[in-house]
């Protein structure tokens, strides 16, 4: 035990999950997304071992780290750069997702300066209202991109579910295919159809993923083993490839409701409490700065997460068979939001096993 909060990644399970996703997609390419792990090279290698065709991340800094770690495969930049970052983008990323003419003009000029080409996926907003141009703007974008001497239009893509929670289905993915085919007819060559992220696996399971969708960008389902639409297990994937643990720093019997005049908590909220009398409570050395408390589930179902401050996670441990002692570790299964913050926090130790 390290005495600190730890997030542990089982790389064997990550590789196995990747292989199951690749096999289920039947020949479509899978771009493994490492952004929730802050661009972990170990996770990238596990995804590649499982059959991923490339690696994607939303942060240039993470792609720089992957290159420095020797990840020599196509790297995709998921979040479009501002024009000021065009030079760094073309040096590090092979592909970027783009929707603004101004940005691809900057990428074209930057690619010319370093003597290389840069590929883009033109992003179309099909209802989720995150990034992407509206469909009627695509023809002019394609025409402009095709005229740039250092830019290769690789394909047409979309993002669904992450912002507006719109589910990929036969209608919106069918529209993506139709838009791509129209662009192909205009330029006279085949384009990649990048049909979204982990949420598109639900369309695969439902039998509504169009055959023409030939690439998906998959992160959460590979790493956490769940559908991003239902948060339920999908495709028989491991759901425990990532675990979190934190040491207990206090175990005491206390009232279950505070006493005194109530105001706002540390985060401006007004908490409510159920008075259950005195209960055995434990505090773990982890808090909002390190994790989303509502996004973690103790492996021991008899433990309840009551809440957290910046640095303290408060648990109800009354129903445990044997109460924890100071220094013991409590282990949790984190969801996406919790995993993101665990990897971002410098106070949480990162461990990789099963390589």
Average pLDDT, the chain: 97
**Inter-residue long-range contacts of 173-176, CB under 8 Å, 24+ positions, other chains counted:** 173/200, 173/203, 173/208, 173/209, 173/210, 173/213, 174/210, 175/126, 175/135, 176/124, 176/126, 176/210, 176/213
Domain boundaries of the chain, sorted by first residue: 10-224, 242-353
Catalytic residue among 13, 35, 254, 350: 35
What is the per-residue pLDDT for 1?
67
pLDDT given for residue 262 in this prediction: 87
Tens digit of each residue's pLDDT (9 = 90 or more) over 89-134: 999 999 999 999 999 999 999 999 999 999 999 999 999 999 999 9
336 CB-near residues (< 8 Å, 6+ apart): 36, 220, 224, 228, 295
Write out pLDDT tens, residues 198-233. 999 999 999 999 999 999 999 999 999 999 999 999
Percentage of the chain surpassing pLDDT 90? Answer: 94
Check whether domain 10-224 has CATH 3.40.50.1370, yes or no: no
Which of 147-156, 267-276, 293-302 shows the lowest per-residue confidence on average (mean pLDDT)?
A: 267-276
What string of H, E and C letters represents the secondary structure of 37-71?
A: HCCCHHHHHHHHHCCCCEEEECCHHHHHHHHHCCC
Does the reported pTM lie above 0.85? yes
Active site residue 35: yes
For range 263-272, the mean pLDDT: 85
- pLDDT given at position 264: 85
**Fold assignment, 242-353:** Lyase, Ornithine Decarboxylase; Chain A, domain 1 (2.40.37)
Percent of the chain whose pLDDT exceeds 70: 100
């Amino acid at each position: 035990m390290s005495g600190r909060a730890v997030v542990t990644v089982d790389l064997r399970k990550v590789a196995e999950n990747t292989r199951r996703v690749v096999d289920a997609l039947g020949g479509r390419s899978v771009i493994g997304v490492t952004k929730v792990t802050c661009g972990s090279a170990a996770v990238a290698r596990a995804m590649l071992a499982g059959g991923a065709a490339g690696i994607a991340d939303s942060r240039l800094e993470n792609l720089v780290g992957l290159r420095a770690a020797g990840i020599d495969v196509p790297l995709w930049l998921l979040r479009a750069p501002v024009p000021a970052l065009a030079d760094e983008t073309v040096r590090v990323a092979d592909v970027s997702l783009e929707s603004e003419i101004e940005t691809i003009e900057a990428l074209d000029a930057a690619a010319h300066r370093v003597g290389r080409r840069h590929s883009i996926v033109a992003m179309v907003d099909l209802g989720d209202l995150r990034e992407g141009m509206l469909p009627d703007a695509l023809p002019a974008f394609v025409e402009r991109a095709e005229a740039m001497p250092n830019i290769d239009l690789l394909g047409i893509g979309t993002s669904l579910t992450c912002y507006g929670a719109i589910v990929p289905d036969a209608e919106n993915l069918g529209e993506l295919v139709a838009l791509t085919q129209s662009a192909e007819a205009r330029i006279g060559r085949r384009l990649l159809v990048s049909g979204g992220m982990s949420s598109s696996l639900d369309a695969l399971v439902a039998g509504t993923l169009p055959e023409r969708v030939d690439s998906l960008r998959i992160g959460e389902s590979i790493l956490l083993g769940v559908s991003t639409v239902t948060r339920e297990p999908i495709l028989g994937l491991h759901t425990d490839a990532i675990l979190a643990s934190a040491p207990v720093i206090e175990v005491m019997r206390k009232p279950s409701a505070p006493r005194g005049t109530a105001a706002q908590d540390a985060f401006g909220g007004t908490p409510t409490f159920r008075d259950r009398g005195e209960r055995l409570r434990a505090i773990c050395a982890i808090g909002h700065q390190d994790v989303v408390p509502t996004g973690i589930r103790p492996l021991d179902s008899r433990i309840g997460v009551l809440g957290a401050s910046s640095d303290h996670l408060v648990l109800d441990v009354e129903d445990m068979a044997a109460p924890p002692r100071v220094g013991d570790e409590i282990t949790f299964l984190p969801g996406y939001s919790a995993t993101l913050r665990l990897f971002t926090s410098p106070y949480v130790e990162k461990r990789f096993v099963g390589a």
